[in-house]
Amino acid sequence: MTQKEEYESRTEQLLLPIMEQHQFELVDVEYVKEGSNWYLRAYIDKPGGITVDDCEIVSRALSDLLDKEDFIKDAYILEVSSPGLGRPLKKDKDFARSIGEEVEIRLYRALNHRKEYEGILKSFDKDTVTILADEEELIINRADMALIRLALDF
């Protein structure tokens, strides 16, 4: 496990009781460097959407726990937010919640001379995603996907 993965995993463990207490869903945790700053980000959700007050409650509780545990060596900026409309599908629960929804997929390399697909998410397993695109079922390896997210209609 890399240091990044360890920080994300330990932060998830600290967040789970907070999520349960407030009946929020933990969507993702990421520890990333942008420019010269490290960011520890927690993305949370709930039916009806997350408010600024919800983010503040989680941020304060998590910040206290992180100060107490003090396992992150670098200076970092803590952010707690909603994952937003265009959030990527990462975890199995994201895929399960999105069955029957229209998704956008971007591939690292072309499949059938295309690197981008839109279609209805039909099923998934640990290795593949099946979508209905242009009235045909298409099976795509998850390892080949640079991005999969819900399609945005405007």
What architecture is domain 3-81?
A: 2-Layer Sandwich (3.30)
Q: Is the pLDDT of residue 54 over 80?
A: yes
Q: What is the pLDDT of residue 48?
A: 84
Two domains, one topology: 3-81 and 92-150: no
Q: What is the pLDDT of residue 47?
A: 84
Q: What is the pLDDT of residue 154?
A: 59
Q: What is the pLDDT of residue 39?
A: 96
CA angle 95, 117, 25 (to 5 degrees): 20
Q: What is the pLDDT of residues 67-87, one digit of tens each?
A: 999 999 999 999 999 887 777
CATH code of the region 92-150: 2.30.30.100
Show the DSSP H helices in the chain as ranges. Answer: 3-22, 52-69, 92-97
Domain boundary assignment for the chain: 3-81, 92-150
Show the DSSP H helices in 50-149 as ranges. Answer: 52-69, 92-97
Q: Is the pLDDT of residue 45 over 70?
A: yes
How do strand 76-81 and strand 37-45 relate by DSSP bridges? parallel
